[in-house]
Amino acid sequence: ALAPRGRDGVWVGTEHGLVAVSGRGSVLPVAMDSGSRARVDAIAVDRMGRHWLAGADGARLVSIQLDEYGSYAGRTLFAHPAGLGGAAVTSLMLDRGGRLWIGTDGAGLHQLRALTVARLRQSDGLPKRNVHEVMGDGADGLWIAGGCGGLAHWRAGAVRVFLPPAM
């Protein structure tokens, strides 16, 4: 997982947690308050500079600060239990309204707003239960990529499905 970090750096999600990499070559792991070195499969940074991190253990909101020793320290502000709906989190996306969209491996797409969760499933029109990636469309909609080539576009509660041509 990757997310921009300032003008010349990047946040990198790894199997052992979050790492800050600068364009000058420094690599600094983020020490979490929980001591967790959990895998990070998705990263999103909100307008306030807070980080949403996600993986098999669910999604959590983290405040990351540079401490007096030049190391990064992460403090968990909010954690949602394992994987939302019992599935691992595969993708995160913050939309223009500040809502967090959370793709899962087997439990559809979730929207987190004001710490409440709404869910979009196959029964709501998604082509698959697995959501591998979610991306804003530049307006108020979402592109949703699922397993086996399933692609959907969501806007204003309506889902349009685009299936790959038969080969």
Q: Model confidence over 106-156: pLDDT tens digits? A: 888 888 776 666 777 788 888 777 888 888 888 888 898 887 667 889 888
pLDDT at 89 > cutoff 60: yes
Euclidean distance between the first and final Cα of the chain, in Å? 31
Q: Per-residue confidence at 14, pLDDT binned at 50, 70, 90?
A: very high
> In the block, which residue shows the tokens 């364009």?
23
pTM of structure: 0.75
For residue 103, count CB atoms less than 10 angstroms from its CB and return exposed for 0-12, middle for 13-18, buried for 19 or more. buried
DSSP for residue 140: S
Q: Tell me the pLDDT tens digit for each residue of 63-76.
A: 888 776 778 888 88
* Stronger pLDDT, 65 or 18, i.e. the higher one: 18
Q: Letter for the amino acid at 42? A: A
Task: Kindly state the percentage of the chain with pLDDT values over 70.
Answer: 86
How many whole angstroms separate alpha carbon 125 and alpha carbon 144?
Answer: 11
Q: Tell me the pLDDT tens digit for each residue of 150-160.
A: 788 988 888 88
Average pLDDT score, the chain? 81
